[in-house]
Amino acid sequence: MKLSILDQSPVVTGTSYEEAINRTLKLAREADKLGYHRFWVSEHHNTKSFASASPEILLTRIASLTNNIRVGSGGVLLTHYSPLKVAEQFCMLENLFPGRIDLGIGRAGGGDAFTNRSLNPNMLSDDETFNKYNELISYLEQTTTLNKRVKAVPQINSVPELWVLGTSPASALYAAERGLPYSFGSFINDEQCINSMQMYHQKFTPSKHLAEPYVNHAVYVICAETNDDAVRISKSSELWFIKTFIRKEDIPFPKFEEAANTVYSPQEEMALAFRRKGTIIGDTDKVKSDLGKLAKKLAVNEFTIVTITDRFEDRLTSYRLLAKAFNLHKE
């Protein structure tokens, strides 16, 4: 089983955006040594929770600091950008780091409604966004028919590995019909997970990209020495979840001490119980077993692990334990 990492550069209470980015760089170097397959970075805007607003810039630095691991975007929010510009950015990256670049593309806005309008006052519908996907692919493959005089440069012999990211059957269908690899963001929202996976496998059409379906499942995981440790470590992200999505607060990730002393309402307890169903939290044996069961249930080829803790050392430990459990360094 291949394991990869999506790091969102989380900002913890009492730390800065700069510290969050530096921790992402440190984690990327460690992931490279541990044998993880990919290291993706995210795109978020106007938030106190995450520091990465420019994945294409951040991953350039990550690729220069690592040797073997694939690096990429998880993902570029294409709704805001010119397909030509995105194609040229990633062609340049592929030229600089051949065979190591992934271009994950998504349809989300990456911020609240006001922020999204500031990024792009002419927001498109879903169908129009998928048309931008088509345009981007044509530039990368140098097959554009929009204007034969326009080419994405630098033109290169290889192209970045293209991924469709999503949390709905619509994104799964797009990936399937074009024979592209699909990454489902269960850590964001797993309500449509089974429907999306079924859609992808049922509608998959072989292409020059893939002969068979390839699923990357992005899931929230915390692994620790004991189950009790893992549950304790998860408290920070749980309080962040409640404050962000239930109480509608824009905050950094809380410290454990605040989370441990927080009393939740019955509604909030129900929200947490629902969220826990989509997370994998425990010791090495439990996490490995749960991932194995999920892989069989959903026909997963690769897991992308999302781990956020208030202490950076706990985040590193979680990824180290997983790497050892799956013998990543031996692959």
Examine residue 179 and say whether the peptide bond preceding it is cis (omega within 30 degrees of 0).
Answer: no
Mean pLDDT confidence for 7-33? 98
- Which pLDDT belongs to residue 125? 55
Q: β-strand 279-283 against 215-224: which pairing, if any?
A: parallel
- Which pLDDT belongs to residue 181? 97
Res. 84: pLDDT tops 60: yes
Nearest to 311 by CA among 239, 228, 254: 254
**In the chain, what are the domains?**
2-225+279-330 (3.20.20.30)
Burial class (CB in 10 A: 0-12, 13-18, 19+), 64: exposed
**Percent of the chain at pLDDT exceeding 90:** 80
Q: Which residues contact 296 (CB under 8 A, 6 or more apart)?
A: none
Cα of 169 vs its chain's centroid, Å: 18
Select the more confidently predicted residue: 149 or 167.
Answer: 167
CB 71: neighbour CB atoms within 10 A?
A: 26
Examine residue 154 and say whether the peptide bond preceding it is cis (omega within 30 degrees of 0).
Answer: yes
User: Residue 231 corresponds to which tokens in the numbers above?
Assistant: 């549950």
- Which pLDDT belongs to residue 242? 97
Select the more confidently predicted residue: 216 or 140.
Answer: 216
Mean pLDDT confidence for 87-116? 85
User: Residue 195 corresponds to which tokens in the numbers above?
Assistant: 């429907």
Condensed to tens digits (0 to 9), the pLDDT of residues 111-150 reads: 566 676 677 666 655 567 788 899 999 898 877 666 667 8
Condensed to tens digits (0 to 9), the pLDDT of residues 53-69 reads: 999 999 999 999 999 99
Tracing tokens 């826990």 back to the chain, one arrives at: 276
Band of the pLDDT at 158, cuts 50, 70, 90? confident
Angle between helices 193-203 and 169-177 (to 10 degrees): 20
* Global pTM value: 0.94
Query: Secondary structure of 241-255 in the HEC alphabet?
Result: HHHHHHCCCCCCECC
Burial class (CB in 10 A: 0-12, 13-18, 19+), 81: middle
Select the more confidently predicted residue: 40 or 146.
Answer: 40
- Which pLDDT belongs to residue 119? 72
